[in-house]
Chain A
Amino acid sequence: MSDTTQSGPVLAADGTPLKRSLARALRMQKVRALMLIAPLLLFVLLTFILPIADMLFRSVENRIVSDTLSETVVRLEDWDALSGETPDEAVYESLYYDLFVAAEAKEHTKLGTRLNYEQTGISSLFRGSGRKVDDIGEDHVKAIERASDGALKDEALWFEIMTGGSNAEGNTALLDAQRLKMEQLTSESFAADIGFVPGAEISELFPRMAVAYTDFALFTAVADEDVVAEEDPWETVFVAFAHSVQADGGAEALASYSGPGAAELQAAAAAIADLEPIAFKTAFLEIDEDWGDLGNWRTMQTYSPTYTSGYFLNSIDMQKGPEGAEPRPENQQIYMTLFVRTMIMSLMITGSCILLGYPVAWILANLPTRSANMLMILVLLPFWTSLLVRTSAWKVMLQQQGVINDVLVWLGLVGDDARLVMINNQFGTIVAMTHILLPFMILPMYSVMQTINPTYLRAAKSLGATNWTAFWRVYFPQSVPGIGAGSILVFILAIGYYITPEIVGGTKGVFISNRIAYHISSSLNWGLAAALGSILLAVVLLLYWAYDKIVGIDNVKLG
């Protein structure tokens, strides 16, 4: 018996190998533990981690350009930004159709705002052009409408032309493609049945017109909740027809068409025969000469991908140029200065908290409990006062006509005309923030110091150590974990502060968080705010990691 078991695996009582049985028991335990913490885990995940991740994701996300100008950006890919020439006619043609749909859906101004972060002036370029884009090809539209006694003013006839009659073969692929495009453009569902399918024949002969009408149909049926056959088609449909009839091979295509409305379309083609073919580039330059500006086109090309490094480059004072990343002009560089300043000032605040907090914590730890508790209330008192009140109180204290200056002048230490400037600068920020963050330093120090046995100090002294040696060699090393815990708390809190620096920091005492707040609430450049925030988070994690390597996180004690 013993011979056989020695060579095989060790078995549990029920005959399964011990290893597997043990693993199963452990797994069960883990699952049970996981289920216990599951509610909290889910809560944190849903309300904290996911929103933060979603926000940080905006630092690279850049769908808006390709969603709004879906066709233009594809055509723009072939354009050489360094050629010194504006893009060719085809790009402007795509721009016309993209911009028209975007203006109908009121999405073009959003794109203008987005691109204006990169290139000044695009915002009003898009806003203004969105209003005027339906003027392009005006003469052609009017001529077509007048042809054969206004037959093409009839919405129902257009509907019949575009479907190819009730029994015609439909082009559902086109409908689905445009449905997807509209969904991407508006971020809303276009899944509803719109009672329209573009006809296969017409979409083969006049693809551009079929696309334009399908967009119109989708938008009319879903967004406006109207009936497609009862609404006037968009100008784009007329323009697309005029443009393709006047292009090479357009006349042949029209001649081969025999579906509904063939006669009316023939008449329309004849009506516009005398007009110059629509030139989209000229038309756009007439609307706004900035459409001939290379910088605007470069910006659109640079920011056409779905994901961009632009925000991150911006947050380290760089920008995307035509030849890759390049430094920003010197008069726009600010973020690196702010990052460095935030680090240095947070370190100074942490340092002054240690200097001020250590003696207080020591006294607290060495007083009899009764008086220690009294003092403890004094330490905790600021916690019960509003942050804004405490910060504003420092304003009253530190300003030039403030309490401290008044006392100094009264004592004759400073002249009335030479009052000290102690606020609206770095000094003000450091003083106010040290005061506000001090309890976070004192509390961990105090709880660590309480655990230090006083007999160690007495023993050191009885062995001949001076007061200083006993403190420095025996007491201090034991209190280091408290300093570590306090420092991490204070430093990480300080690095993300923005209310206090905003109020007392003036121009030299503000932090990177103030710029993040500005971009979130004022400039609405959330992408840049997210990039700055991601960098700040990464720096904190890096410092935490460095701290762990150098001091060891096991050495941090909160009590």
Chain B
Amino acid sequence: MKLRKLTALVATTALCAPMAFAADMADEMTIVSWGGAYSNSQIKAYNEPYAEKTGVKIINDESSAEAVAKLRAMDEAGNVTWDVVDVVAADAMRLCDEGLAMEIDPDEHLAPAPDGTSAEEDFGDLLVSDCFIPQIVYSTTFGYRTDLVGDTAPTSVCDVFDLEAYPGKRALEKRPINNMEWALLCDGVAKEEVYDVLETEEGQERALAKLDTIKDNVIWWSAGADTPQLLADGEVVMGSTYNGRLFSVIEEQDQPVAMLWDAQVFDLDGWIIPAGLSDERKARALDYIYFATDTQRLADQAKYISYGPARASSAPLVGQHAELGIDMAPHMPTDPENATNTFLYNYSFWADYRDDIDAKFQAWLAK
């Protein structure tokens, strides 16, 4: 380990010497994200300005979907090649638990808001893990085909379970998270009691029984791009997916699809820095994070994709879409019009119950 650090140090210093870099920062970094429109928004809003400002060479990797497994494997092999990784909050918590991500002190490592509010206050409750730097709020919600739902458009998430009023197939994610909550909600459980019910064996049975009523009419998706495609093909009448995907189907591809914001589930996506980076790579990663999560940068990202910035101070700065020129604020999941009935992904509940309920859910699916 020592030897490797030393070699890395010698190598980086040798590389840095002729160039005018800050002496103690790496001149190359690998940023891992999800790919597609999301990565594009980050490249435009963060990476390109950052590279211009510092001259650093940024390598974009699109492995976020397997980030936890890959980071674990890299850590075991003793060779972590990523510098900054974009993951959902639940994965950040697991990486933190596994000791694979470094802990962040918001006030030390992140920029304060322009009016001087500390970063910790600006991000507020969204700092759900010691290792996690929130970036955007996205939601998992339903979209429906306006031409296939008849005269009365669905208004409630429970319309998903109503086969009589809205016959046809639905697309749901092939995992218990979110589906179990929606099922209980539509089975008459009050919103604030959903997780108390879901903790119990009977509650889980009850949720699966509710899902059973539409099981034959469900196409289960595992990639975020599936539902938009199924909606565009007319394969499904309605389906759940990430709100940014639906935005691009509706506004960018002009398909006859509309949003059903009811009971949307908020989730967070953000950065982690892998544990065990060499000093100069860590310095570079922290410098990037400081830059990329400041108030203006987070607001800039919303020009390219309809995800809400995680800082309270960024919200007023959200402007228009960079190409379409439409106002982005009404398309944000956090917009008051859209956020009348929302859930927040319950991280601690699913950290505990994920394995157990998933086993039951998969067994139920296979039946």
Contact = CB atoms under 8 A, between A and B. Distances in A.
B366 A334 contact: yes
A502 B352 contact: no
B364 interface: yes
Given A109-B99, A399-B233, A401-B234, A338 B355 contact: no
A78 B205 CA distance: 37
A520 B69 contact: yes
A132 to B, nearest CB: 15
A501 to B, nearest CB: 11
Contacts of B353: 120-121
A521 B365 contact: no
A203 B345 CA distance: 50
A521 B66 contact: yes
Contacts of B11: none
Contacts of B174: 507
A263 B98 CA distance: 44
B222 A123 contact: no
B363 A332 contact: yes
B219 A109 contact: no
A106 B98 CA distance: 8
A551 interface: no
Contacts of A399: 233, 235
B355 A332 contact: no
Contacts of B66: 521
A401 B69 contact: no
Interface residues of A, number: 37
Interface in B303-322: none
Given A110-B98, A127-B97, A127-B351, 7 more contacts: A110-B97, A112-B97, A120-B355, A338-B366, A424-B219, A521-B66, A521-B68
A400 B355 contact: no
Given A113-B94, A116-B352, A524-B94, A106 B99 contact: yes
Contacts of B235: 399-401
A107 interface: yes
Nearest to A128: B348
A319 B66 CA distance: 28
A117 interface: yes
Interface of B: 65-66, 68-69, 72, 94, 96-99, 169, 174, 205, 219-220, 222, 233-235, 348, 351-356, 358-360, 362-366
A469 interface: no
30 contacts: A106-B99, A109-B96, A109-B97, A110-B97, A110-B98, A113-B94, A117-B355, A120-B355, A123-B97, A124-B348, A331-B360, A331-B363, A332-B359, A332-B360, A334-B359, A334-B362, A334-B366, A399-B235, A400-B169, A400-B235, A401-B233, A401-B234, A502-B222, A506-B219, A515-B362, A521-B66, A521-B69, A523-B358, A524-B72, A525-B355
From A331, A402, A523, residue with most partner B Cβ within 10 Å: A331
A206 to B, nearest CB: 32
From A117, A334, A508, A525, residue with most partner B Cβ within 10 Å: A334
A306 interface: no
B174 to A, nearest CB: 8
A337 interface: yes
A178 interface: no
A333 interface: yes
Contacts of A120: 352-353, 355-356
A121 B199 CA distance: 10
A123 B234 contact: no
B255 to A, nearest CB: 14
A525 B358 CA distance: 13
A507 B66 CA distance: 22
Interface in A477-518: 502, 506-508, 510, 515
